[in-house]
Amino acid sequence: MANVSHRGDMATHPDVSEMRERYARMLGGRDVALVDGPVFLLGLYCAASPWILHYTTSQPALVTHNLIVGIAISVLALGFTTAPDRMYGLSWAMCALGVWMIIAPWVVGSSPDTGVILNNVIIGALAIILGLMCAGTAAKSVPRP
């Protein structure tokens, strides 16, 4: 049986170049914590914002809307983390959700007040910014020929 208890230098391992390539492919040159974490937190805040800002009785349609969109943003973030190769094509969906969040108070809500509008505009702007960052990260991680 091989002795695997020693802690030698990996540079002498015969498959070190293949392991480095596989590791680089797996990460795709992206920094998960800098993009995916804030996207997930934004989704959680979006889902909880009607209760945080106390507009559950004045805007019941926006309560349901923000809950659903917040869950969708959080699911996208989890997908970006767990299956980045498949999910980073959906980075532009974050931008679309951001635009929708900005216009939703007037489309979904009924005469929203300034606090509700400001909340959705800020969430939407952050979703657009983070979606563009995800798309930029995905574009950088695409292997060049």
What pLDDT is stored for residue 5 in this prediction?
57
Q: Give the pLDDT confidence score for residue 14 in this predicted structure.
A: 74
DSSP summary character for residue 90: G
CB atoms within 10 A of CB 27: 12
Give the predicted TM-score (pTM) of the model.
0.76
Which residues lie below 8 Å from residue 58, measured CB to CB, with a gap of 6+? Answer: 113, 116
pLDDT of residue 120: 97
- CB-CB contact of 61 with 106 (8 Å): no
Mean pLDDT in order along the chain per 10 residues (145 residues): 59 74 59 77 97 93 96 92 77 93 94 94 96 80 56
**How far, in Å, are 29, 122, 133, 134, 135 from residue 129 at the CA level?**
20, 11, 6, 9, 10
Q: Residue 35 CB: number of other CB atoms within 10 A?
A: 22
Containing 128, the helix (H) or strand (E) segment is: helix 114-141
pLDDT value at position 55?
92
Name the CA radius of gyration of the chain, rounded. 21
